[in-house]
Structure 1
Amino acid sequence: MTLDISQAARHALATWLDHTRALKDRSDNTVTAYRADVMDFISFLTAHHAEPQGLAPLARVTTSDMRAWMAHLRGQDIAPRSMARKLSAVKTFYRWLAEREGFEPTAVLATRSPKFQKKLPRPLTEDAARAMIDTVELQTQDSWQGARDAAVTTLLYGCGLRISEALGLKGRDLPLTDSLRILGKGKKERLVPVLPIARRAVESYLTLCPYSMSPDEAVFRGARGGTLNGRHIAKVTERARMQLGLPATATPHAMRHSFATHLLQAGGDLRAIQELLGHASLSTTQSYTAVDQVHLMQVYEACHPKAG
């Protein structure tokens, strides 16, 4: 629902989004989500008060308004996690707007986020991760494409890269050395160690790849020479996990989860893992400690003589 929103409110929203994009280094996807969430909130206020919401009405938002909006979201069967995301976007916008316009945004900022159970990452076992890489390679008929898919998957598990980061590698990044400079989310740069097995996987692919590697072209190419699409890796991963009898959670992103979890289980430092993954907040990385605790409890219950 997008009703009549005052020109002043539209201008303020656009200015905030430009500010967020330029100064806060938010990704395009994040900015798009922010715009939709805040626009939906202003549209709700427009309908709730039966009049366009300019800057003055926005500054007068009450606790009652916020409760009505949250009730409206619940009535649309929006999940608590999504409600929390929308509220976070509105609060971020209001902090900026209040500072710019000189009003007190207490009613908005004091609104409590709905509680929800955080989903723990679902890593693969070490054996399953290795089997996934081997099986992914068998999902295409052309040997160079199989080598390519294995190389991408190896980078996800061996270096903890996001799929977008692996597919974003350019010819200028070659040949891979013992470290790789990655520009991740929010344009945050990090240095990632590259294991010999990952270098060998990429080298095997490059030996078979029929396309030249100029500095500005993607390393991982589709069948017709364009940049490989992440959906392809998702599809071959899905076929591989079905062959292996792995759960639906065995996705390309699960390989990155597995990288972090296995490092933690081997005694890796949480701060170091945060840097390797490119997480902006340590709290994001800390979710892996919960995964490790679940693993430890499973081992305890299976092996302790007094368990059960």
Structure 2
Amino acid sequence: MPDASRDAETALAPGAADTRAAVAEWLSHLAAERRMSPKTVEAYGRDVRDLLVFLTRHLGDPPSVAAIVGLAPRDVRAYLAARRADGLVSRSLMRALAAARSFTRFLARTGRGEASAFAAVRSPKIPRSLPKPVAPAAALALADPDTRAGEERPDWVLARDAAAIALLYGCGLRISEALSLTRAEAPATGVSLIEVTGKGGKRRQLPVIPAVQAAVAGYLALCPWPLAPDGPLFVGAKGGPLNPRLVQQAVARMRGSLGLPDSATPHALRHSFATHLLARGGDLRTIQELLGHASLSTTQIYTEVDAARLAAVHAAFHPRARVG
């Protein structure tokens, strides 16, 4: 059994022995076969541990697999109510229920029994919020090292941050995807295509526009550290892998100087990439592939963003939109 699974089994001590063994198998399944990210596996394991802690109090004993299979919908509702009382918001409650459902589906698939109570309870409702992209001019300014020319930071650091931000906006990358690129994968001048690993270990190819190539080339020309071909493309002040927090801080500093709202984050640049492509005639299927979304419904939210933007422009500038 992998060390991570043994650690997870130890952490899940509230369950009976057969439950702990089932949880360890389930977490290994999520990591190895479902290829979920380590952070997602960790979060799911934490949620199920919280479930087992609750059930130990609720049932009076560490829950066995048979006890979990025998739960009634009222038991699941009591669990969700307890988590709500602990301060969990609807989104976190939904993830907690999703983790429990994933675990109990695993119990059924492995012949341990059907825990139907979790499927019988509705997921908490979550208010739907639209992504908040930044305007094209602001996105370009965030990716321009000259925007931070007044900061007392080495030129190579400014060029590094600008190159990373250019990848977020120019290619629609997640920050983790940009920082996972190796030196050999660097999309510098003349490299018009990159391949990245997204969620679930899925690989996708993305075109790289000349402006992004130039930004990466500018960073490479100034970087004082020797970059091994299989080492990280983006490095920190001591030559190690760049912490994503540093990119977030760079954007936060520019956000203040450019007068942008708090919603202007590195991830908002990925939203901006999709929204601006759609506004210029990009089709949803192509944008879905570029973003690496598994479902088209995830990408369709950007049509609502663009419709909301058009409605706001119409209300602000159409002569008949003003009252009085």
Fold equivalence (TM over 0.5): yes
- Unmatched segments (≥5 aa) in structure 1: none
Matched, 1:255 2:269: yes
Q: 1:307 to 1:85 in 2, by over 3 A?
A: same
Q: CA deviation at 1:136?
A: 4.7
Q: 1:97 to 1:136 in 2, by over 3 A?
A: farther
Out of 127-136 and 235-244, give the one that drifted further.
127-136
| Amino acid in structure 1 at the alignment position of 2:132 | R
Q: CA deviation at 1:20?
A: 1.2
2:65 corresponds to: 55
Q: Do the aligned residues in 2 keep the contact of 1:91 with 1:109 (CA within 8 Å)?
A: yes
Q: Distance in 2 between matches of 1:58 and 1:243?
A: 54
Q: 1:49 to 1:96 in 2, by over 3 A?
A: same
| Amino acid in structure 2 at the alignment position of 1:198 | V
Matched, 1:109 2:123: no
Q: The residue matched to 2:143 in structure 1 has which SS?
A: helix
* 1:16-31 equivalent positions in 2, closer than 5 A: 16-31=26-41
2:182 corresponds to: 170
TM-score, normalised to structure 1's length? 0.95
2:300 corresponds to: 286
Q: The residue matched to 2:194 in structure 1 has which SS?
A: strand
| Amino acid in structure 2 at the alignment position of 1:25 | R
1:222 corresponds to: 236
Matched, 1:67 2:77: yes
2:93 to 80, 83, 86: 83
Q: Distance in 2 between matches of 1:168 and 1:2?
A: 31
Q: The residue matched to 2:320 in structure 1 has which SS?
A: coil
Q: CA deviation at 1:75?
A: 1.4
Matched, 1:8 2:22: no
Q: Do the aligned residues in 1 keep the contact of 2:104 with 2:114 (CA within 8 Å)?
A: no
Equivalent pairs: percent with the same residue?
A: 47
Q: Do the aligned residues in 1 keep the contact of 2:66 with 2:113 (CA within 8 Å)?
A: no
The C-alpha deviation readout for 1:119-156, integer Å capped at 9, x for no partner, is 32111001111122222565452111111111111111
1:205 corresponds to: 219
Q: Do the aligned residues in 2 keep the contact of 1:162 with 1:253 (CA within 8 Å)?
A: yes
Provide the aligned C-alpha RMSD in A: 1.7
Matched, 1:275 2:289: yes
Q: Distance in 1 between matches of 2:49 and 2:178?
A: 33
1:36 corresponds to: 46
Q: Distance in 1 between matches of 2:108 and 2:277?
A: 43
The C-alpha deviation readout for 1:233-272, integer Å capped at 9, x for no partner, is 1111111110111111111111111111111111111111
Q: The residue matched to 1:306 in structure 2 has which SS?
A: helix
| Amino acid in structure 1 at the alignment position of 2:168 | L
Q: CA deviation at 1:109?
A: 0.6
Q: Do the aligned residues in 2 keep the contact of 1:157 with 1:258 (CA within 8 Å)?
A: yes
Q: Distance in 1 between matches of 2:152 and 2:215?
A: 16
Q: CA deviation at 1:100?
A: 1.8
Q: Distance in 2 between matches of 1:246 and 1:278?
A: 27
The C-alpha deviation readout for 1:211-249, integer Å capped at 9, x for no partner, is 222211111111121111111111111111101111111
Q: CA deviation at 1:158?
A: 0.5
| Amino acid in structure 2 at the alignment position of 1:167 | L
Q: CA deviation at 1:102?
A: 4.9
Q: Distance in 1 between matches of 2:236 and 2:118?
A: 47
Q: Do the aligned residues in 2 keep the contact of 1:170 with 1:217 (CA within 8 Å)?
A: yes
1 or 2 for the larger relative contact order (CA 8 Å, sep ≥6)?
1
Q: The residue matched to 1:224 in structure 2 has which SS?
A: coil
| Amino acid in structure 2 at the alignment position of 1:253 | H
Q: Distance in 2 between matches of 1:79 and 1:286?
A: 25
Q: CA deviation at 1:279?
A: 1.6
Q: Distance in 2 between matches of 1:34 and 1:4?
A: 16
Q: 1:182 to 1:38 in 2, by over 3 A?
A: same
